Structure 1
Amino acid sequence: MRSTLPARDGTAQEHAEVELIGRSGEAALLDDFLAGSATGGAALLVSGEAGVGKTALLDLAAARAAVRGFRVLRAAGVEFESDMSYTGLRRVLAALLAGLDRLSPPQEQALGVALGLTEGQPPSQLAVANAALSLLRDSAADKPLLVIVDDLPWIDAVSATVLAFVARRLAGSRVGFLAAFRLGEGGCFEGAGLGELELKRLDDDAAACLVTTRFPALSLRARQVVLDQAEGNPLALLELSRVLSQPEGAVVPPGPAVLPLSQRLEGMFAARVGQLPDNTRKVLLLAALEGTGDIGLLEAASAAEGGVSSLPHAERAELVHVDTSRSRLEFRHALVRSAVVQMASPDQQRSAHAALAEQLHDQPYRRAVHLAEATDDKDEYVAGLLERAAVEMQRRGDPVGAVSALCRAAQLSPHGGDESRRLAQAAYLRADVTGDLRGVPDLLNDARRADAASTQSLASAVALSSHRLHIDGDIESAHRTVIAAIDALPDRDAPDQTLIEALYYLVAISSFGARDELWRPVHAAIDRLGPRAPEFLALLATTYADPVRLALPMLGRLDTAVARLTSDTDPGHIVRVAIAAGHVDRLPACRAALSRVVEHGRTGGAITAAIQALLLLSNDAFTAGEWDRASQLCGEGLELCESHGYRLLSWPIMHQRAMIAAARGDNDEARAVADHLDTWATPRRVGLVTAYASGIRALAALGRGQADEAFQHANAVSPAGTLASHLPYAMWAILDLVDAATLAGRHREAAAHAAAAERARLREISPRLALIAIGSSAIAAPDDRKRDLFEEALAVPGADRHPFEFARITLYHGEYLRRSKAVEEAREPLAAARRIFQRLRAEPWERRAAREIRAAGRSTGTQPAGRAALTEQQREIAHLAATGLTNKQIAERLFLSPRTVGTHLYQIFPKLGVTSRAELRDALAKLPSDARDN
């Protein structure tokens, strides 16, 4: 099969002919891939060993795509540039950047900053990825687009992350993404759920055909030597045949046949490079280290050696191709580039880097990297350039690259104080931004050895405290370290980013400690910032720190911040606002943004933020009654915690999963987790985690019917009659304490705790807290007030969106009615509660409801929906609610109070056998006609 290839810029210009012998199946798959790309978007990854023909297959795809009317974009990874952030993405998108202004302003800004085209705040990788995806989709609106990326492992990490994100979201576009990498080196692309094609070696017939076709004059003996040694690898077949076709090639060049094939091929290329004139080799070395193949730059860098006039020698040796239309040099294979570099001495490589740096004064980022490679001794000038390059990397959203640049800058620093400062900054970025805690102690130790006196910086303090907090749970030491570093700061007109991050860490430290004395200096430090404090810090210091006492005045500001998450692409900021929203039940409005953070983490983005987002989403799923989903999210979060060393973040996730186990009656798991949490947290005085352990035990004991034990554990979270300061978790235990105290005959304690919830005005914070506060008051109230309070609790708008609490209070209502001899009336709420418990698989609670139903004199078998007739007014309210009207809107139409409407709906639900408004329409449709119309 013969294919004419397009030029590498995707035009129809012919510059080479190759035969893809033995690849008919792969070619057919390419045709299917291109057809799918043109109509609905597609991605395909090509993998295989070195020399197996990946690039040739990409060439064929480019040729066929051009014939089909595609616009083709090509790029390849370059080993030396693999640490230079977003260079790969810029090469991929270079031909489309003129259309950047067609994007929305935020996306244009994010992509422009990342690619170094504009100034601005550092964009998150998620923002850059979304912008790149939009640019590709828009560019393919009139003409299908094929993106081809070769040598994928050498694409810089942030570009690879962005491209992996894009490749997974091409459905519905007219964009195809085709990339190639050596087997086992796909990085974030492997396991990404994309289409894959593994190129195998040619079979014996195809291998023989390739050699015979390309080298017909080769002797039979030499041909057999080639076939035996190449073992079906196309590049080896061609290179060995080329060697044996030369006049001096009577035998295969000496060398151990046991070497890996890639090394043997590289050795063959090295032999051909070694035969080139010195000037040619020097130009090839410049090209190998420069990466883009810019002929103009290579000409300038090699002017002293005669420029690029000697390149035809390398072309005749079939080592490179010079594309005169684009003024670009391309290596025939990545192994050629590798051979050129390996053959150069360290001094030659440093000289080449210096020559390149001299031509890059207009690109300080690249110049700094080349100068660093050209420098062998300490050099503050180069170290300073690298430090500024690190700032640029941060600005462009690449903290991992910034860490590498700072570490290299530290190596080049002549003075210990500068070395220490740069290492401390690298440690801070690694701990705080990249989510990689493992190297932090080594960086801090190196900083201390360089200059012990300079390691008291705020960056060093944050890095150290982050490590202590997440790895060791050392609350006290971490808190002292950061407070001392903040107190030592001079007053500034505006807080810098390191101070903001330090204050955020103090919030995290203090929340786990859950003690007033830890929070007092945090509040003082944030108060000193006044209006200069970022909004998320002000929210965390109130709605998250102590919602019982501080949330109400801040809810309007919080709702505004949550609404803005719709367009937010910064994973760290999204998570921080969502944390502030969590205890006051605003997480449903954060779901989409948090899901973006999780997806970003799955594709190589911010791990810390992804773990926190998984926890928040699992909390939301738990309160929404989606317990299986909550468990799945917990599992993913725990895997990330374990693989990245985030022990502290694992405790809230373990608590969440154990609460589901306790509610479902898995007492062994609940007990094991509670003991594990307690054993770790108690000696460290991590108050939040010890509260978690008590909460798990309280819920499990209630399920077992052990009221006294349940009361003791719930009381350990927050004593009866009080809601502990700076422990938001105390709100989670209100219902457990009141229920347990009542069952244990501790009516005074139950009433005191219910009164504390009312004093805290929890009903004004959210529907769920209103349900809990009013329901708790109903449980603890005198009998003459219980009915009204239960009905008020269950009529709270949106209360049914929290099925576990809703079912529990429905159960308590039914229990009260049965004990009050209103047996007939008790059966409906008891049955409704039981149905919800069955759906949740909350077996201990389902058994409790079943016992009550039997005590009320009714079988616990399931009864058909619509078994009880609705009154005329109830039918009308049910129909209006089914259309989506709120209680207030229904009340206005029927001249009733919203509370009366809520009471009727509370009675309607069990009659129809439903638990939410969403089920009303179907339930009404299933009623017999006489039940609907009478």
Structure 2
Amino acid sequence: MNALVGRVAERERLAAVAASAAEGFGEVLVVRGDPGVGKTALLDDLADGVDGLQVVRLLGVETEAGLAFAGLQRLLLRYRALGSAMPEIQRAALRVALGLEAGPPPDRHLVGLATLTLLAEAGHDRPIVCVVDDVQWLDQESLDALTFVARRIHADRVSMVLAARTSIAVAALAGLPELRLEGLEHAAAHELLSRSVAGDLDPVIAGRIVEATRGVPLAILDLGDELGGDQLSGGATLPDPLPLGGRLESHYLERVGELGTGSRTWLLLAAAEPSGDLARVSAAASALGIDPSDVRAAEETGLVRTRGRVRFRHPLVRSAVYGAADTEDRRRVHDALAAVTTDPVDEDSRAWHLGASRVEPDEHVAGVLARAADRARDRGGYSARVSFLVRAVELTPAGPARIDRTLAAAEAAAIGGAPVQASRLLASLEETELDPVGLGRSLMVRAAVHVYSGLADASADVPAMYLRAARAFEASDPVRAREALVRCASNLGGAEWMMRGCSVEEAATTIREIVGEEPRDVAGTALAALASFALDPYEVAAPQMRAAVDAIASDRVSPTELLELGMLGMVLATGLLDDDARTTILTRSAEVARAAGALYPLDVFLWVRSLTEADIGQLESAGRLLAEVGQVRDAIGLTPDQQEMFKNVEYLAWCGRGPDLEAQIERSGQAAVALGLGGAETMARAASALLASCAGDYETSYRLSAGIVEQNHLQVAQRALVNLVEAAVFTGRDEEARRALVRLESIAAASPTTWARGLAAVGRALVATDDETEVAFREAVQILEPTRNLAALGRARLLYGEWLLRRRRRADARFQLRGALGVFERMGAVRFAERARRELLASGGTEGPGDAAGPTRTSDLTAREATVAAMAAAGSTNAEIAAALLLSPHTVDFHLRKVFRKLGVTSRRELAGTLDAAERIS
């Protein structure tokens, strides 16, 4: 009787989504609509109408929303046998998340990747349509995993249809394709009403009902059941107002209110038990003295059925029953459900029922909830951990235990990506009631979430917060004190000159005081080196920096230490102008983060490595890293607008085009200032100085470079020195050029890396007299030519060639300028290549056949295709590429097939040869 009517366009849209899975190009669609508008009926119709596909269904349950991975567990346990083919790290993460084995808490994004891999594997032979209703009631961890999958099923035999209420915002669904459901059209609504009544239906009455219900199917069906035959046929007056529309929930409650006390209590029991376990509901009903006749009476209303499991007619019935019950009745049914929930695998459900059954503080129940929170943490369920802990806090008597649980809840919220909730929890505590360790913990959380606060200059406050936390921990918790110092040190480069509450020098002094003169571990050695870098003459600091960098780059450092110290090692290696050590540290740190499924650290390490690759002119590598960063940030959930705020400005300066390039970089610097990221603003100034030097605007380049060197930025000042020497020489500031050269020479003496020695030689050539200039330029080219530092080599040869041209040594100038042009074109450094080309033409030279090769076929590849191609050519398997790029193996295969087609190759060996040839040409 209640078969789906109407919805022709909507059904076609859903059928197309299902068909796309069979074609190997999965799609996702979010169906949105008000309660009763027909979302579930539309999903039922989809499930009944697909042939040859697996239909996997999941229903979100409001009372289950606090249980970590509860929804995902119900969805995936049917596929547990397939997990054997997954990468071990994904398999382990998923099994821990689903409570199937013990292990380290998995990163939620790694669980999402594992879910994607599992579903893609399950759909390989028989495509899958995953249908999820009432998404708004899913637990946060399951929702994160499923939306992670939804954004990545482009080349898999898996499609997803997710239904959610319009009235409830679900941030995780933002940006996914949507289908909005409204009421049925008049003809379809009239047909549905006609089907739902047994007797005569007066057309005028039918019109009134359709108009009153606004075509909402559930309201039409319920009203057809509710009204008498005389009313429908026009023989009796209709009630006014009709119990419809926004009063649908009240309509259900009126029907519930007509039941006896026992039936109402049984319905409340069923509404409070999210699993729908009939045996559990029946046992609790028996304990409460509910008679079987009361259960039958409840079923006779049509609001619920008990065929194997308890199922409500509509989720709105469940929420209406539960929401309308008074506190004492709800407490009583939860207490009964807790008493009959005895299976050890249901400990978390029992804890939740116990928590809901208490009003007054109860330390025993609070302890049960706290232990459930620990189990959630062990499975990576930080949102669930917060829910359990918040309820535990509410039931904990005032005192140290309540404070400790509040802090633990705030820490979990910060880790789980809920900064607002973390801040609210901390706001419930007064600093005066915290002991030193509690104060330190609160400061660590405040610092971690401060950058998400939306406040102006927020990042500028973070180092001082960590520093204050270290002071609080210093006397009684040295391990936490060291952690706070490392976080402070790692954030110094971001805030730099914008820091509030302390300066770099003050932070370094505090670090030195707490760490002491003889550090005993790698972290202490690194912190002491950073303090020396900030406070001491370079020649004093360099040996300590070298010892720290060598320790962090060594194989003896554990993965945990590397995640903690990788950024600090990068800062110190940059200070030493040691690109080899810096690349080693960042590459290994990213590998560790990827292996652990730690996407936030992975994002940082990949992003910073893209910066470091750009500053030595490895722009192709930087571009591939930026493509990978985009993948990771999509996984994390950053919006395009948020990603736009973080640009690799040096990459833009080297290879950007267009008249607004300078404006783009300036806007990036302004955005950095708004966030309190003084270090990022300094990098934007360095990029602008680079462009100014390229354009011959040495006055601007001098002003910008001098400011950077004067601020002594830990990551940029050393690199800016040679630019300052160049700009000072060409603006007639010879004395300033010599002072900058002295500093550059001292760096090369204390840290004689090829990078430092090459830059020092360029500086000497710029400052030297004619007799010494050529010797210094030749030395610079000789030092830099074997290195990866194309940026320094290209600029050295350009300056050398221009110097020779000014001395009318045209043939010699042409040789150096042609070499510079080749380097810049190999890099993809557009504006510097144009300058080198102009100078070459001015010398009487012409571009030879290989001097300015046009684009190779590899230029047809997208950024993602280029990344997949490079990894495949290097020997990575599809599974390894998928794990690295947060895709499914089928999606990798899809991109690789496109790469083969575009490049005209048929094997990985041919691909490697083609990429090698393209590299030689460019």
Return the TM-score normalized by structure 2.
0.75
* Alignment partner, residue 773 of structure 2: 783
* The 10-residue stretch of structure 1 (540-549 or 381-390) with the greater mean CA deviation from structure 2: 540-549
Contact 1:218 1:241 in 2 (8 A): no
* The 10-residue stretch of structure 1 (544-553 or 211-220) with the greater mean CA deviation from structure 2: 544-553
Q: How does 1:603-618 map to 2 (within 5 A)?
A: 617=610
Q: Secondary structure at the match of 1:51?
A: coil
The code of the aligned residue for 1:85 comes to A
Distance 2:481 2:471 in 1: 12
Q: Is the aligned partner of 1:351 residue 2:340?
A: no
* Alignment partner, residue 167 of structure 1: 150
* Alignment partner, residue 42 of structure 1: 26
Contact 1:638 1:650 in 2 (8 A): no
Distance 1:663 1:703 in 2: 15
The code of the aligned residue for 2:378 comes to R
Q: Secondary structure at the match of 2:355?
A: helix
Distance 2:532 2:118 in 1: 40
Distance 2:2 2:701 in 1: 77
CA deviation string 1:690-730 (max 9, x = no partner)? 855864675466456464664565345447xxx96x82322
Contact 1:380 1:412 in 2 (8 A): yes
Q: Secondary structure at the match of 2:27?
A: strand
* Alignment partner, residue 340 of structure 1: 321
Distance 1:619 1:176 in 2: 39
Q: Is the aligned partner of 1:519 residue 2:508?
A: yes
Q: Secondary structure at the match of 2:55?
A: strand
Change (3 A) 1:660 1:43: closer
The count of residues paired between Structure 1 and Structure 2 equals 825
Which of 117, 124, 133 pairs up with 1:134? 117
Contact 1:618 1:633 in 2 (8 A): no
* Alignment partner, residue 377 of structure 2: 394
The code of the aligned residue for 1:56 comes to A
Change (3 A) 1:689 1:29: closer
Q: CA deviation at 1:314?
A: 3.5
Contact 1:421 1:447 in 2 (8 A): no
Q: CA deviation at 1:731?
A: 3.1
Contact 1:39 1:174 in 2 (8 A): yes
Q: How does 1:286-301 map to 2 (within 5 A)?
A: 286-301=269-284
* Alignment partner, residue 821 of structure 1: 808
* Alignment partner, residue 158 of structure 1: 141
Q: Is the aligned partner of 1:756 residue 2:743?
A: no
CA deviation string 1:444-498 (max 9, x = no partner)? 342117835577443123124446787272467425412222212256xxx5xx5
Q: CA deviation at 1:637?
A: 12
CA deviation string 1:71-129 (max 9, x = no partner)? 43322111122232211111211322355455443223211221223222111011111
In structure 2, the gaps of 5 or more residues are 452-456, 497-502, 854-872, 875-912
* Alignment partner, residue 202 of structure 1: 184
Q: CA deviation at 1:29?
A: 3.7
Q: How does 1:246-265 map to 2 (within 5 A)?
A: 250-255=236-241, 261=245, 263-265=246-248
* Alignment partner, residue 38 of structure 2: 53
The code of the aligned residue for 2:359 comes to D
Which of 14, 20, 39 pairs up with 2:4? 20
Contact 1:479 1:518 in 2 (8 A): no
Distance 1:820 1:562 in 2: 54
* Alignment partner, residue 875 of structure 1: none
Q: CA deviation at 1:373?
A: 2.0
Change (3 A) 1:341 1:817: same
Which of 21, 34, 49 pairs up with 1:64? 49
CA deviation string 1:751-789 (max 9, x = no partner)? 42442342244635xxx7676466555545623413532
* Alignment partner, residue 809 of structure 1: 796
Q: How does 1:76-95 map to 2 (within 5 A)?
A: 76-95=59-78
Distance 2:159 2:534 in 1: 45
Contact 1:38 1:174 in 2 (8 A): yes
Alignment RMSD, CA only?
5.2
Contact 2:37 2:216 in 1 (8 A): yes
Contact 1:543 1:554 in 2 (8 A): no
Which of 691, 694, 705 pairs up with 1:714? 705
CA deviation string 1:525-544 (max 9, x = no partner)? 67898569699999999999
* Higher RCO (C-alpha under 8 Å, 6+ residues apart): 2
Name the % identity: 26
Q: Secondary structure at the match of 2:310?
A: strand
Change (3 A) 1:677 1:83: closer
Q: Secondary structure at the match of 2:429?
A: helix
Q: Secondary structure at the match of 2:227?
A: helix
Q: Is the aligned partner of 1:113 residue 2:96?
A: yes
* The 10-residue stretch of structure 1 (302-311 or 111-120) with the greater mean CA deviation from structure 2: 302-311
Contact 1:754 1:773 in 2 (8 A): yes
Which of 37, 58, 80 pairs up with 1:97? 80
Q: CA deviation at 1:160?
A: 0.7
The code of the aligned residue for 1:367 comes to R
In structure 1, the gaps of 5 or more residues are 1-16, 869-884, 887-916, 927-934
Which of 283, 301, 323 pairs up with 1:317? 301
Contact 2:669 2:680 in 1 (8 A): no
* Alignment partner, residue 889 of structure 2: none
Contact 2:646 2:668 in 1 (8 A): no
Change (3 A) 1:855 1:613: closer
Q: CA deviation at 1:269?
A: 2.0
* Alignment partner, residue 736 of structure 1: 723
The code of the aligned residue for 1:798 comes to R
Change (3 A) 1:307 1:178: farther
Contact 1:614 1:637 in 2 (8 A): no
Q: Secondary structure at the match of 2:753?
A: helix
* The 10-residue stretch of structure 1 (409-418 or 449-458) with the greater mean CA deviation from structure 2: 449-458
* Alignment partner, residue 878 of structure 2: none
Change (3 A) 1:244 1:47: same
Which of 107, 114, 121 pairs up with 1:124? 107
Contact 1:465 1:481 in 2 (8 A): no
Q: How does 1:236-275 map to 2 (within 5 A)?
A: 236-245=219-228, 250-255=236-241, 261=245, 263-275=246-258
Contact 1:421 1:454 in 2 (8 A): no
Which of 471, 474, 481 pairs up with 1:484? 471
* Alignment partner, residue 906 of structure 1: none
Contact 1:74 1:148 in 2 (8 A): yes
Distance 1:554 1:319 in 2: 69
Which of 473, 488, 492 pairs up with 1:506? 488
Q: Secondary structure at the match of 1:358?
A: helix
Q: How does 1:801-880 map to 2 (within 5 A)?
A: 804-830=791-817, 833=820, 849=836, 852-853=839-840, 855-857=842-844, 865=850
Distance 2:36 2:333 in 1: 28
* Alignment partner, residue 460 of structure 1: 442
Contact 2:407 2:438 in 1 (8 A): no
Q: CA deviation at 1:50?
A: 2.0
CA deviation string 1:354-410 (max 9, x = no partner)? 222223353332333222222222222222333333333322223333334333332
* Alignment partner, residue 159 of structure 2: 176
Contact 1:738 1:753 in 2 (8 A): no
Contact 2:467 2:484 in 1 (8 A): no
Distance 2:305 2:223 in 1: 20
Q: Secondary structure at the match of 2:786?
A: coil
* Alignment partner, residue 75 of structure 1: 58
Contact 1:575 1:613 in 2 (8 A): no
Change (3 A) 1:421 1:110: same
Q: Secondary structure at the match of 2:425?
A: helix
